[in-house]
Amino acid sequence: GENVEQHPSTLSVQEGDSAVIKCTYSDSASNYFPWYKQELGKRPQLIIDIRSNVGEKKDQRIAVTLNKTAKHFSLHITETQPEDSAVYFCAAPGPGTASKLTFGTGTRLQVTL
């Protein structure tokens, strides 16, 4: 099965600075890599995803990069704002028709004023 590792576990940045969260995965057949944001007591929300046929994807202040050779992908948040404070999870699917997701251990991002 898939094994996903995520670093760092906690990250504190000042408002306006950038934040980077990194994940590695083990299954070279994985081809879809989503990132989820989870606020306390709420459901995870998909914020961006990338498929293995591209190396980078951007959506406003959020970007994801993928290095298939090294089997790692990263979330980049620029110009961070207090509302970006949350727990972020990366994930990678296993094989199958409806692939179950294996989640990273999560990164608690704190954006300070």
Partner 1 sequence: GAVVSQHPSWVICKSGTSVKIECRSLDFQATTMFWYRQFPKQSLMLMATSNEGSKATYEQGVEKDKFLINHASLTLSTLTVTSAHPEDSSFYICSAHRGRTEAFFGQGTRLTVV
| Residues that bind partner 1 in the complex, under the rule CB under 8 A | 32, 34, 41-46, 49, 89, 91, 93, 97-106, 108
- Please, what is the minimum distance in Å from the beta carbon of residue 13 to partner 1? 19
Q: From the CB of residue 95, how many other CB atoms can be counted at a distance below 10 Å?
A: 11
Q: What are phi and psi of 79, to 5 degrees?
A: 45, 55
Nearer to partner 1, 73 or 89 (CB): 89
- Please, what is the minimum distance in Å from the beta carbon of residue 11 to partner 1? 14
Nearer to partner 1, 20 or 101 (CB): 101
- Please, what is the minimum distance in Å from the beta carbon of residue 22 to partner 1? 15
Nearer to partner 1, 14 or 53 (CB): 53
Is the bond leading into 8 cis (omega within 30 degrees of zero)? Answer: yes
Integer Rg of the chain from CA: 14
Q: From the CB of residue 60, how many other CB atoms can be counted at a distance below 10 Å?
A: 9
Nearer to partner 1, 70 or 98 (CB): 98
- Please, what is the minimum distance in Å from the beta carbon of residue 109 to partner 1? 14
Q: What are phi and psi of 35, to 5 degrees?
A: -120, 135
CA distance 74 to 36: 12
